Structure 1
Amino acid sequence: MGRTYDTNTTADELVGDFAHDIKGKVILTTGVTLGSLGAAFVESVAKSQPGLLILAGRNVEKLKETAEKITAAQSNVKVRALTLDLNSLAAVRQSAETVNSWDDVPHIDVVVNSAGLMASPYMLTVDGFESQFGVNHLGHFLFTNLIMPKILASKAPRVVNITSDGHRLNPMRWSDYNFDNGETYNKWHGYGQSKTANMLMITSLAEKLGPKHGLLAFSLHPGAVQGTNLGSFCNWEVDYTALMAADKALGNPEGWVTEFNFKSQQRGVATFIYAAFDQSLKNHNGAYLIDSRIGDPWKDTIKPWATSRLEAERLWKLSEKLIGQEFAY
């Protein structure tokens, strides 16, 4: 039996423990702007000599900054940038086509979908979807499935979605996922719906591709982490009160918590590494992870609407309809 980890486990500890599993792996990560958890993840993993780090993001200059920081610290680690704009399905298709054209990258071992928006004002993606749902879920759903042949070519394929215990703030709004063109929009409800979708996508991937193809898929909550750019849309003097109100309306205990219990980036990113490389998770495909362990519905915030196979299949069908493409797994 392997080591037991907890909320105080750090990324560097896990990178050391999983060095053998990381070495030589091809890892694609979205959302890697310096200061983000995605960037902290790839910087940490680089210490154990992966075969290739593929950095995916919308801004070419920011991708370059992250790549340069990695190679300055680990000069022998190969890094490749991939332009990926999750706000546009056409752009996502183009990026996936690029990845699939890389003959020198026959497989991708681990995909970590870390990019995302939190509590943004009401905006629409290029294709007319509420931005948190469109970017956090639909963009990743399409991209991951389009590059699935490369993922399944790995001997030990994994997909990791970064979600949040913020999934507690809303189930899927099946009849109004776009918030009636903004008329029914609440930024925290929008965030909750998108994080629920991140979890349900993992449930489907594990069920559809685990038994026959050996794909492992996990979602995770990194915790409230200091120093990231995720809260760029938030004015916490106002938005924390709004967050508490959203929780109180649902009867969530978080509605009466008056401050965040922050983690360091080292502690927050630890669960990324646990999800991506821990071998003991093989018997828990589709699990939701927190604090570098499997989530416990008796003591952690895990809403049944985010883990239901029925809801997962319903979202899969809706997602296929919205992107205009079916995936026959």
Structure 2
Amino acid sequence: MQFGVNHLGHFLLTELLLPKLIESAPSRIVNTSSVGHAAWTALGQSVPHSTIDFDDLMFKERKYDPMVSYGQSKLANVLHALHLAKLMEEKKVDVTVVSHHPGWVATDLVRSVMPVWVQNYLIKPFRRDVMDIHGGAQVALHCLLDPSVPQHSGKFFSQTGLYQDKKAAMGGLPMESPNPEAKDEKVAERLYKVSRELVKLD
């Protein structure tokens, strides 16, 4: 379900709007991803980073894990931006495509994606350190409005405070995703083709 809601729905909307976005260029597409696309090891998961399981996108064969599913769907957001930016560049169209992590914001979203023990022992104690909704909107607004963003089409933007990699945090906006698969253009191209098939555009 998360792959459908978090990726395929947005993917289809973007594809349907794309002709108008091209016609009205310069324009921008900003995918809301998450730090969850990068790594779950800090939260006790067995995978070093999120990945796209093309053999079982919908968890029909493997045991469903909401956090792994969430990470896969958010990685799909990053890869979609990566490949669509490449397509726009190849067509010489002035449409900027980026993805972003808004930061950890004080909402109840985690209720459906994190085990209760994580919410009680890891999230709640740090709730005073997370942003309010106004703060959580800043990265998206940066991606939508800042004049420098078109120079970084395809890139991932993020609040950097939650990353333990200090070198990555030093990079500011945009930052280098710590997940190597987030920069894999072959995976991004395959996901784009599979997504078009799943939403019946091909």
**TM-score normalised by the chain length of structure 2:** 0.78
Following the alignment from structure 1 to structure 2, what is the Cα–Cα distance between the partners of residues 243 and 200? 29
- Structure 1 equivalent of residue 21 of structure 2: 151
Structure 1 residue identity aligned to 2:89 = G
Following the alignment from structure 1 to structure 2, what is the Cα–Cα distance between the partners of residues 242 and 314? 38
Following the alignment from structure 1 to structure 2, what is the Cα–Cα distance between the partners of residues 187 and 275? 28
| Residues 264, 304 of structure 1: alpha-carbon distance in 2 compared, 3 angstrom cutoff | same
Task: Say whether the 8 Å CA contact 1:161–1:218 is kept in structure 2.
Answer: yes
Q: What's the CA shift for 1:237? A: 3.7
Structure 2 residue identity aligned to 1:225 = V
- Structure 2 equivalent of residue 247 of structure 1: none
Q: What's the CA shift for 1:266? A: 2.0
| Residues 242, 200 of structure 1: alpha-carbon distance in 2 compared, 3 angstrom cutoff | farther
- Structure 1 equivalent of residue 102 of structure 2: 222
Task: Say whether the 8 Å CA contact 1:162–1:222 is kept in structure 2.
Answer: yes
Of 213, 231, 239 in structure 1, the residue corresponding to residue 110 of structure 2 is 231
Task: Say whether the 8 Å CA contact 1:165–1:302 is kept in structure 2.
Answer: no
Kindly report the root-mean-square deviation, in angstroms, between the aligned alpha carbons of the 2 structures. 2.5
- 1:123-162 to 2 correspondence within 5 Å? 131-162=1-32
Matched length: 178
Identical-pair percentage: 33
- 1:274-289 to 2 correspondence within 5 Å? 274-289=142-157
Q: What's the CA shift for 1:235? A: 7.0
Structure richer in helix, relative to its length: 2
Following the alignment from structure 2 to structure 1, what is the Cα–Cα distance between the partners of residues 67 and 23? 38
CA distances 1:131-157 after superposition (whole Å, capped 9, x unpaired)? 100011011111110121111121311
Gaps of 5+ in 1: 1-130, 245-257
Gaps of 5+ in 2: 41-49, 161-171
CA distances 1:194-218 after superposition (whole Å, capped 9, x unpaired)? 0000000000110001341111011
Structure 2 residue identity aligned to 1:184 = K
Higher RCO (C-alpha 8 Å, min separation 6): 2
- Structure 2 equivalent of residue 315 of structure 1: 191
CA distances 1:73-129 after superposition (whole Å, capped 9, x unpaired)? xxxxxxxxxxxxxxxxxxxxxxxxxxxxxxxxxxxxxxxxxxxxxxxxxxxxxxxxx
Following the alignment from structure 2 to structure 1, what is the Cα–Cα distance between the partners of residues 197 and 85? 20
Task: Say whether the 8 Å CA contact 1:188–1:243 is kept in structure 2.
Answer: no
- Structure 1 equivalent of residue 53 of structure 2: 173
> Which entry has the higher C-alpha Rg, 1 or 2?
1
**TM-score normalised by the chain length of structure 1:** 0.50
